[in-house]
Amino acid sequence: MNLEKPLRELSVTEILDRSITLYSQRPLEFFAPFFFGGILNGVIRHVIGFLLLPIVFPQTKPERFFQWLTSYLYPLAGASSALAVSFWIITTVTSGIAVKYASDLLEKGNANLAKVFNFTIYKLTTLLAAGLISGVLVVLGLLLFVIPGIIVALMFSLIVPVIIIEDRGVFKSLERSRRLVDRSWWKTFAVLLLVLIVTAFFSIIGEAISIFFGPFRDLASALAAAFIQPIYPLSLTLLYYSMRIKEAQPFQQVGYKPPVAPVFAEQAQFCAYCGQTLPPDALFCPKCGNRIERYS
């Protein structure tokens, strides 16, 4: 396969197939950021777990127990928040790297991982801000009977490719993603659902296999996760290019055309008194001068 942008709109299966093919062209470059990101997440998780106080239930009165529980919940909440923020930042960076590397391959035919990393860090503030806004809106939508949350998630699913490829700001990227997705909501939903099913399937298999690695389970789990994770940002990148092609095609609007009245050949009229052929607008016969009687 030639590393070039799609020249036509892609179907759902073509997007997934081309994502896998693109991944296979540069597997190490796509795999490495997610692997090291997974290792970093694991290290942070273990450090935070080590810093937390060990859970030792006090054998005292209930009042003392609740006092202990309250004092323990504060550091636990802080550690959980720190872990969630670090995971969010690392995931944003790795996804941005994958999108930028893929777009450079498709548009330029080659890419440099170091330059891609530097560019992603340069755009990190914009990526995080847009991701935070869209994430809050998705959560609020999910609280409102789930469906609105799904719609918002679809609406802003292309903000990372828009920020990385088009170099847009926070709010412009949100609006741009909405307009691109608006061209084909069902295709966006189908691509994201298919990719989610594929990645979830292989993630479960990888997690199950890592159980047999004993003390190296975390390393094996990071390897398995990093192996499948690039498919998602690659699919978003190809979906973005496909939507841009669709955007360039005008809507096939069928305008209303009023019915055209049938045209009949002009029928000749004759004077009832002398038989003279009459012009269409005559009021009197040009020969005998009698008034013309017309019947509709």
First-to-last alpha carbon distance for the chain, in angstroms, is: 74
Instruction: Kindly state the average pLDDT of the residues 188-197.
Output: 94
C-alpha span between 144 and 149 (Å, rounded): 7
For residue 257, the tally of other CB atoms under 10 A from its CB is: 6
Are 233 and 102 in contact by the 8 Å Cβ rule? The answer is yes
3-class SS at 269?
Answer: strand
- C-alpha to C-alpha distances, 178 to 121, 174, 184, 186, nearest whole angstrom: 24, 6, 10, 13
Which of the 8 DSSP states describes residue 32? H
pTM (two decimals): 0.77
Contacts of 113 (CB under 8 A, 6+ apart): 29, 32, 33, 97, 101
Q: What is the pLDDT of residues 4-27, one digit of tens each?
A: 888 889 999 999 999 999 999 999
* pLDDT tops 70 at residue 295: no
Other Cβ atoms closer than 10 A to 291? 9
Side chain identity, residue 236 = L
Greatest alpha-carbon span in the chain? 131
Q: Which residues pair with 270 in a beta bridge?
A: 277
What's the pLDDT tens digit per position in 240-274?
A: 999 999 888 765 544 545 555 444 434 447 777 77
Q: How far apart are CA 51 and CA 37, in angstroms?
A: 21
CA distances from residue 268 to 283, 284, 293 in whole angstroms, order as listed = 15, 15, 14
The per-residue pLDDT for 10 is 92
How far is Cα 287 from Cα 272, in angstroms, rounded to an integer? 12
For 65-119, write each residue's pLDDT tens digit: 667 667 777 777 888 888 899 999 999 999 999 999 999 999 988 999 999 999 9
Q: Provide the token pair at 128.
A: 């995080």
Q: At what angle do helices 12-25 and 185-210 cross, to 10 degrees?
A: 50
pLDDT in tens, 87-99: 999 999 999 999 9
Higher pLDDT, 43 or 277: 43
Return the exposure string of 272-289: e unless at least 16 CB atoms fall within 10 Å of the residue's CB, then b. Answer: eeeeeebeeeeeebeeee
Q: Is the dihedral of CA 143, 148, 151, 156 positive or negative?
A: negative
